[in-house]
Amino acid sequence: MTDQSRAELPLRAKVASSLSKTAAALSRAAGRGDGSVIGGWLGMKIDPDLLRHLAAGRRVALVSGTNGKTTTTRLTTAAMGVLGDVATNSLGANMPTGHASALARAGHTPYAVLEVDEHYLRQVIEATSPGVIALLNLSRDQLDRAKEVAMMAGLWREAVRDHDAHIVANADDPMVVWAARAAAHVVWVASGQRWHEDSWVCPECGSHIERPPGTGDWYCTGCDLRRPTPQWSVDGDAVVDPSGVRHPVALQLPGRINRANAATALAVAAEFGADPAQAAPRLAQVASVAGRYATVHKDGRTIRLLLAKNPAGWLEAFDMAEAAPTLLSINARDPDGLDTSWLYDVDFSPLHGRRVLITGDRAMDLAVRLEVNEIEFEHVTSFAKALAAVPPGRLEVIANYTAFQDIRAELNRVN
């Protein structure tokens, strides 16, 4: 594709782009969110190729997966900053309308890093011709079952096979490996995978996937699908690059999973020619992401908010939470999924030995689940009561989607 500066956008794309920005500004002024979705939607009504037109001339990275894509997009944007200005959909509007709006708003930039909803990956690849695609993980979200996970992996596989983008992929997720290895050029990152429940069956041949305990290795017992040797990995607080050089990363974000996300970010930036030694210090700029991981001080308590949207996310959150009183909050409204049976797919035993409080619309479902794991808990009817029940010091909060939003709103009110 020829380099096309913003000034050379086709007339229809120019009108659509400026309308998209105006609509977004109007929506913000009316207090209806950041407006990126409505703005992009309007723009794409006028120019269905708007995303393609706005992406042309930029070197684009896409980031997709069930969990961690917002955070990894932020980290990748920070890392790529060493190369030049980067457009990004940092507010998590991760479908094509959100991408169009983000690019329109950013104006001309040499680079773009876009978080992509996993269902839209193919469409966004076709529209943006990315240079690099990061594939993080695939697991069930809400009511999706393992079968849908394998189906999604199949769609990814076709999408990356038909394009020449460089792939940066998680070597520890068999579904991701199977999808990514269809591509011509793949860089593997040892990102880890705590959640195994959606990848016991090989997507290639249907045989059992074996995971020798304590090795981190995995392989299919029926075909040649196995864990590739990763070029990038995490060692303590450092990311190790393909030549074996350690790059210390001082992240503000908690947990092993975010150090793995940092490794992915550096790997993506390196594919565009960034020097990881220069890019690594920039990762420390990323603090909370849309309120996730935010630390709030209130009444002598230091409260940290962790969002967990699905079973794999709960396991990662247990890993991130420090050994301190922990409040779990669960709702089952539309955005969360109405069924809470997934609670039985998650091992709550990492919470043994700490003080656990529970709240939310579906606290009773959580209570039954914790009883099964023989974990003691206290039920509180509101976040304010949880705050009053714990001594000054740290309080970890792990909540699913709408419960998380409720607590954020409550914190804003009390602040």
Of 73 and 199, CB closest to Zn ion: 199
* Binds Zn ion (CB under 5 A): choice among 50, 51, 220, 315: 220
* Binds Zn ion (CB under 5 A): choice among 80, 202, 265, 303: 202
Of 175 and 262, CB closest to Zn ion: 175
In degrees and rounded to multiples of 5, residue 233 shows phi and psi of: -150, 175
Q: What is the 3-state secondary structure (H, E, C) of 322-382?
A: CCCCEEEECCCCHHHCCCCHHHHHCCCHHHCCCCEEEECCCHHHHHHHHHHCCCCCEECCC
* Binds Zn ion (CB under 5 A): choice among 207, 288, 382, 405: 207
Q: How far is the CB of 148 from Zn ion (least distance, A)?
A: 19
Q: How far is the CB of 223 from Zn ion (least distance, A)?
A: 3
Of 220 and 321, CB closest to Zn ion: 220
91 binds Zn ion (CB under 5 A): no
Of 16 and 202, CB closest to Zn ion: 202
200 binds Zn ion (CB under 5 A): no
The Cα–Cα gap between 258 and 317 comes to: 11
205 binds Zn ion (CB under 5 A): yes
SS3 state at 4: coil
Window 147-186: contact mask with Zn ion (x via CB under 5 A): ----------------------------------------
Of 202 and 375, CB closest to Zn ion: 202
Of 202 and 257, CB closest to Zn ion: 202
Which of left, alpha, beta for 20 (phi over 0: left; psi -120 to 50: alpha)? alpha
Of 222 and 391, CB closest to Zn ion: 222
Of 48 and 222, CB closest to Zn ion: 222
Strands 301-307 and 295-298, by their bridges, are antiparallel
225 binds Zn ion (CB under 5 A): yes
Q: How far is the CB of 149 from Zn ion (least distance, A)?
A: 15
Q: Determine the interface stretch with Zn ion among 6-14, 132-140, 225-233, 395-403 (rule: CB under 5 A).
A: 225-233
The Cα–Cα gap between 322 and 255 comes to: 9
* Binds Zn ion (CB under 5 A): choice among 30, 151, 184, 223: 223
Q: How far is the CB of 176 from Zn ion (least distance, A)?
A: 15
- DSSP letter, residue 103: H
* Binds Zn ion (CB under 5 A): choice among 107, 222, 236, 248: 222
The Cα–Cα gap between 173 and 373 comes to: 27
With b for 16 or more beta-carbon neighbours within 10 A and e for fewer, the 287-318 pattern comes to ebbeebbbebeeeebebbbbbbbbbbbbbbbb
204 binds Zn ion (CB under 5 A): yes
Q: Determine the interface stretch with Zn ion among 34-42, 175-183, 200-208, 322-330 (rule: CB under 5 A).
A: 200-208
51 burial (CB, 10 Å; 0-12 / 13-18 / 19+) is buried
Q: Which of 182, 173, 165 is nearest to 149 (CA)?
A: 173
The secondary element (H helix, E strand) that includes residue 242 is none
Which of left, alpha, beta for 290 (phi over 0: left; psi -120 to 50: alpha)? left
Of 199 and 400, CB closest to Zn ion: 199
Q: Which residue has the tokens 């929506």?
A: 27
Token duo for residue 70: 């917002």
Residues contributing to the site for Zn ion (CB under 5 A):
202, 204-205, 207, 220, 222-223, 225
